[in-house]
Amino acid sequence: MEKLLIINANELVTCSGSAAKFGVEAMNDLGVIENGAIAMEDGIITHVGTTEEVMSQINADEYGVIDAAGKAVTPGFVDSHTHFIFGGYRADEYDWRLRGLSYVEIMERGGGIINSVKGTEDASLEELVDLGLKRLDSMLSFGVTTVEGKSGYGLYKDTELKQLEALKICDERHELDVVKTFLGAHSVPKEYKGRGMDFIDYTIEEVLPVVAENKLAEFCDIFCEDKVFSVEESRKLLLKAQELGLKSKIHADEIVQLGGSELAAEIGATSADHLLQASDEGIKAMAEAGVVATCLPCTAFSLKEHYARARYMVDQGCAVAVATDFNPGSCHTESIPLAIALSTLYMGLTTEETITALTINGAAAVGRADTVGSLDVGKKADVIVHEFPSYKFLPYHIGVSTVELVIKNGQVAFVK
Ligand code: NIG
Ligand code: FE
């Protein structure tokens, strides 16, 4: 298997660590090594240090060498919240939104998630896989090397399982690592209107056991929101899923302050996501319970909502992750540069915090901080070479990707 070496990096941004980083000090510490080098073998990082240190420990003749002089090198990004498997698009709805209709108004007109459920039901497994693979290619070009993907455009068993199968095949066929999340409770189907708990019972009895038994997902997620699923319904589903071995995620406190953040802390969820309306108490509870607070600024931007209070969350000691929320409705973008721009300009995070949020904290949000998200010996060799000398160019080159080359599992997977 190949041996690969990167030398002379102006800044080797390690983001070193094997767990989520909580609070201001930890999130601002990027572990930068000047004139850094990194050696990889069989897809795993074997050496990290200054170029001088690494060169003295290896036989460079055995390696393919990338000279990163004048460039910044970072871990591959972890996009820890997406819905990238779906059939059909909702460009018309986007147009309605531009004309003033709110997300909830569109949902009440029968648009929104239900519309993508139809498109996903109509798509074959192969079509979903083909679309998924193309979307993963695009993510890779932005430097993403691990991505979380959710079901949730099936609601009922057959299409939910088809989506999870598509995620599995995409993981197998594409270089990117795909973390699978079961989100059957993404919307209440019209047959269950006003009977959310009955739909939760259906999900628990008919779908969840199949997902768990066949290990089709690592996480169970739910849209805990006014007019969708209550805190009580969310607790019931997520606790049952935990019993069956699935870790928890929650779409929490996005549109209304319902208490999803508090629930995440109560049940030991791995992450709570969106959080635009999260209360001070909920934020404190997440910090104390070690729940990763995942902020999705591209969604707030696209919906013209105010942004999650990421600055306050970090100040309160939270581990904040930032993700794209790529999906066909509320946020049809997989753009990491947009997420970086919004995170720094509108959520008040520093450049360092934003990079931590997209690497090691993103990895923690998908339960993989021990294997990805930083440049540490023993981790997967997932690395980005950027075309500029400093990580400070990531937000500064506003909305434009600085990614020049991506290494996934120790092999070059993308070159600009
Ligand atoms: O994360 N908030 C709920 N779920 C998705 C929206 C999905 C859609 O609109 O299709 C989200 O934004
Ligand atoms: Fe989402």
Which residues, chain by chain, have CB under 5 Å from ion ligand 2? 325
Residues written for the chain? 416
Residue by residue, DSSP assigns 357-400 as: HHTHHHHHHTT-TTTSSS--TTSB--EEEESSSSTTHHHHSTTS
Q: Which ligand 1 atom sits nearest the alpha carbon of residue 115?
A: 10
Q: How many angstroms is it from 80 CA to the middle of ligand 1?
A: 14
Q: What is the pLDDT of residues 332-377, one digit of tens each?
A: 999 999 999 999 999 999 999 999 999 999 999 999 999 999 999 9
Q: What is the pLDDT of residues 183-217, one digit of tens each?
A: 999 999 999 999 999 999 999 999 999 999 999 99
- Residue-level pLDDT at 379: 98
Q: How many angstroms is it from 407 CA to the middle of ligand 2?
A: 27
Q: Which ligand 1 atom sits nearest the alpha carbon of residue 86?
A: 10
Is the CB of residue 185 less than 8 Å from the CB of residue 238?
no
> For ligand 1, atom 1, which residue shows the shortest CA distance?
325
> By CB neighbour count within 10 A (0-12 exposed, 13-18 middle, 19+ buried), where does 348 fall?
middle
pTM given for the model: 0.97
Answer whether residue 1 shows pLDDT above 70.
no
- Residue-level pLDDT at 56: 98
Regarding the beta carbon of 335 and ligand 1, being less than 6 Å apart is answered no
Residue 109: pLDDT band with limits 50, 70, 90: confident
What residue ranges define each of the domains in the chain, with the CATH number in brackets? 3-75+371-415 (2.30.40.10), 78-365 (3.20.20.140)
Is the CB of residue 74 less than 8 Å from the CB of residue 13?
yes
Residue range 25-46: average pLDDT?
98
d(CA 253, CA 302): 17
Average pLDDT, the chain: 97
> By CB neighbour count within 10 A (0-12 exposed, 13-18 middle, 19+ buried), where does 141 fall?
middle
Residue range 395-409: average pLDDT?
98
Residue 287: pLDDT band with limits 50, 70, 90: very high
Three-point CA angle 74, 406, 401, nearest 5°:
75
Q: Which ligand 1 atom sits nearest the alpha carbon of residue 328?
A: 10
> For ligand 1, atom 12, which residue shows the shortest CA distance?
330
Q: 397: which 2 tokens?
A: 């080159």
